Amino acid sequence: MSSRDASPSAITPTGTISQTNDRRRVAVATVVGTTVEWYDFFIYAQAAGLVFATVFFGPLNEDYPGLAQIISFVTVGISFLFRPLGAFLAGHFGDKIGRRPMLVLTLILMGVATTLVGFLPTYAQIGAAAPILLILLRVLQGISAGGEWGGAVLMAVEHAPKPRRGLFGAFPQIGVPIGLLLASGVNGIMAAIAPGDAFLEWGWRVPFFLSIVLIIVGYWVRRRVEESPVFEEIAARKEQVSVPVARLFARFTPLVLLAALVFVGNNAVGYMTTGGYIQGYATNPEGPLGFERGPILWAVAASSLTWLVSTFAAGVISDRIGRRNTFIIGWLVQGVFVVTLFPLVNSGSLGLLALGIVLLGLGLGFTYGAQSSWYAELFPASVRYSGVSIAYAIGSIFGGAFAPTIAQWIQTTTGSSTNVMFYLLGVTVISLIATLLLRDRKGIDLSPANEDQQAKHIYAWQK
């Protein structure tokens, strides 16, 4: 028996925490770590929309105008193809040796890859080697992101008191809009400090260099967090599965696919801003708007605030009305604001553009805040890390991976942002349907002792 087991403040097998300090430490660690991971991820995506087409892929425009921007967005999507690899690796070892070690490793990998992007020479300096190195570092970011999210949400949800899993699960979720806020804010500051050509020459690199400071902070915070009580119980019972991924797909393939589809709509729509599409569309000097970079980056930062608040609210509300009902409301709200997005963006008014993406953030929050608690409650304990990580990774491939590229292609080939709206509305409907096919499992016992019950009554058609 460990000292934790003997302590009167120990975490019980049901996953509750009796001491306020322990709860705060878990909440802070998941928020800080997820914020750092997604700050790194988003500064790349924003740079892809703002500068990479020029500094890494510029020669492509000589024969095919607009191709450089499309390829720049493709590099954003390439990383998603490697998220499943990160999810498989982190899920396998997270279900075998624990959630906490994987969180530390993924954080370090993301930080190293991001910092190195800031040091890369441009195409003009070393030719084709520059975009090749850029893509390799983006692949490492994808592997890290694929493994990080599952560990963060399980640390939050498995530590949480049963009636407050939605609240605790919202903490790693709000790290995503905070990461977007930081990325947009830092890029906005650099656009003011180094305007015009200076931003292209060196200003874009500074946000990547700052990553190393955030990684040090995130590493220190995550090292102080105790292992998940659910995994400690699995280890104590010696019930680790030898190949968790194999068991997952042998028994729960339909669940993995449906859970992935639940994420598609949020991820695709979210990557209109997090993937840099709106930034590139609004600032393109040859496009219909031609805004300066700085104001658009600050508008995106403002939208991240509404996304943050609505994400946290969705987690709290889901503890009252259930995860499934919260998602259904979210899809309806998101659908409405998808329809209003481009009319407001295309108005030519910076204020209306900002309003459009700020309102979109409300829908994104309500289709994201309850995801971590619902995912954790859907998968049995022995394959939970693998299940939530792989479902999330697959959903991101079919959702946000190439959403900016698809949107750019639709806009370029049809000349109409209305068609982009139909694409975004379509993926929102797909996720609504997937949501309706799954059961709400609010309050289910997450401990390995209840594994048999966790494997039953998952789908809406089951009695």
Average per-residue pLDDT in the chain?
85
Q: Is the pLDDT of residue 19 over 60?
A: no
Closest CA to 320 of 362, 359, 367, 373: 373
- Orientation of helix 371-378 relative to helix 244-270, angle to 10°: 160
> Among the residues of 322-455, which ranges form H helices?
323-345, 350-366, 371-378, 384-396, 403-414, 417-436, 451-454
Confidence (pLDDT) at 8: 34
| 2-16, 125-139, 228-242: segment of lowest average pLDDT | 2-16
Q: Which two tokens stand for residue 303?
A: 């939208």
Q: Is the pLDDT of residue 427 over 90?
A: yes
Q: Is the pLDDT of residue 436 over 90?
A: yes
111 compared with 374, residue with greater pLDDT: 374
Average pLDDT over every residue of 182-195: 88
List CB contacts of 185: < 8 A, sequence separation 6 or more: 297, 298, 301
Residue 383 near residue 252 (C-beta atoms within 8 A): yes
List CB contacts of 47: < 8 A, sequence separation 6 or more: 187, 204, 207, 208, 276
Residue 77 CB neighbours (<10 A): 23
Give the residue carrying structure tokens 């991976």. 401
Residue 319 near residue 167 (C-beta atoms within 8 A): yes
Confidence (pLDDT) at 237: 64
In angstroms, the CA 434 to CA 398 distance is 14
Rounded to a whole number of angstroms, the CA Rg of the chain reads 21
Closest CA to 164 of 4, 17, 346: 17
* Proportion of the chain above pLDDT 90, given as a percent: 38
Confidence (pLDDT) at 21: 67
Q: Which three-class secondary structure state does DSSP give residue 459? A: strand
In angstroms, the CA 343 to CA 421 distance is 10
| 8-12, 328-332, 389-393: segment of lowest average pLDDT | 8-12
Q: Is the pLDDT of residue 330 over 90?
A: yes
DSSP secondary structure string, 424-447?
Answer: HHHHHHHHHHHHHTB---TT---S
Closest CA to 83 of 135, 137, 145, 176: 145
Residue 311 near residue 365 (C-beta atoms within 8 A): yes
Give the residue carrying structure tokens 């309706």. 436
Q: Is the pLDDT of residue 357 over 80?
A: yes
- Tell me the torsion sign for CA atoms 254, 258, 261, 263: negative
Residues in the chain: 463
In angstroms, the CA 40 to CA 183 distance is 8
Give the residue carrying structure tokens 């530590």. 159
Residue 11 near residue 226 (C-beta atoms within 8 A): yes
Confidence (pLDDT) at 234: 66
> Among the residues of 20-96, which ranges form H helices?
20-47, 53-55, 67-81, 83-96
pTM: 0.82
Task: Give me the residue spans of the domains in the chain.
Answer: 19-454
Q: Please, which residues bridge with residue 438 across strands? A: 459
Q: Please, which residues bridge with residue 459 across strands? A: 438
Element (H, E) at 144: helix 129-159
List CB contacts of 98: < 8 A, sequence separation 6 or more: 227, 228, 231, 235
In angstroms, the CA 43 to CA 266 distance is 19
Q: Which three-class secondary structure state does DSSP give residue 243? A: coil
Q: Which two tokens stand for residue 347?
A: 């108005």
Average pLDDT over every residue of 18-22: 60
* Proportion of the chain above pLDDT 70, given as a percent: 92
Closest CA to 358 of 417, 272, 232, 268: 272
Confidence (pLDDT) at 63: 74
The hierarchical CATH code for the domain 19-454 is 1.20.1250.20
